[in-house]
Structure 1
Amino acid sequence: METTAREFNQRSSQILAAAARGETVTVTVTVTVTKNGTAVARVVPIGDDDVPPCPTDPMGALRLPDLGLPDLTDDEIEDTLKGMGS
């Protein structure tokens, strides 16, 4: 299927509905949107592998580098920092 930008604008809900249904022509429905005869976008159905998993927290998984520092207790950290900011 190929459409102009104007036609896509006027029929976008029908075109997107066809893509969402996964309509196939040989392989899959692909809509190429053109503007002044030049292809500017392609609309294809989203597959399950195309949607990234949602992170479990706002920042996603954090990977901190191992700096080779010793593990300190809260009390040891507090003792080290006493008097540093006064």
Structure 2
Amino acid sequence: MEATAREFNQRSSQILAAAEHGETVTVTKNGRPVARLVPIDADEALPYSTDPMGDMEIPDIGTGPDLTDEEVDEVLRGMGS
């Protein structure tokens, strides 16, 4: 399969799905091949997460006070300005 850089940008999910199903994709820019997307065998998959944040555990801080919408607006007013 071949895709232009623009097509890859616009249809990356579908192109990645094709690679996931065993298809090799050549990405071209201005008519020249610039990259090749190839499927990875299960044996080649990394045994650890490649997510830069890694696994996250969100601590249970219990329940806080019940705030009205007006109170939330009051707290947020002025933040970011």
CA-atom RMSD in angstroms: 1.4
Aligned length: 48
For structure 1, the 5+ residue unaligned runs are 23-27, 55-86
Q: TM-score, normalised by structure 2?
A: 0.51
The one-letter code matched in structure 1 to 2:45 is V
Task: Choose the corresponding residue for 2:34, options 34, 37, 40.
Answer: 40
Dislocated runs of 4+, deviation >4 Å = none
Rg larger in structure? 1
Identity of aligned residues (%): 71
For structure 2, the 5+ residue unaligned runs are 49-81
Q: Deviations over 1:7-62 (max 9, x none)?
A: 11111101101222x2xxxxx411000111111111111102222445xxxxxxxx
Counterpart of 1:68 in structure 2 is none
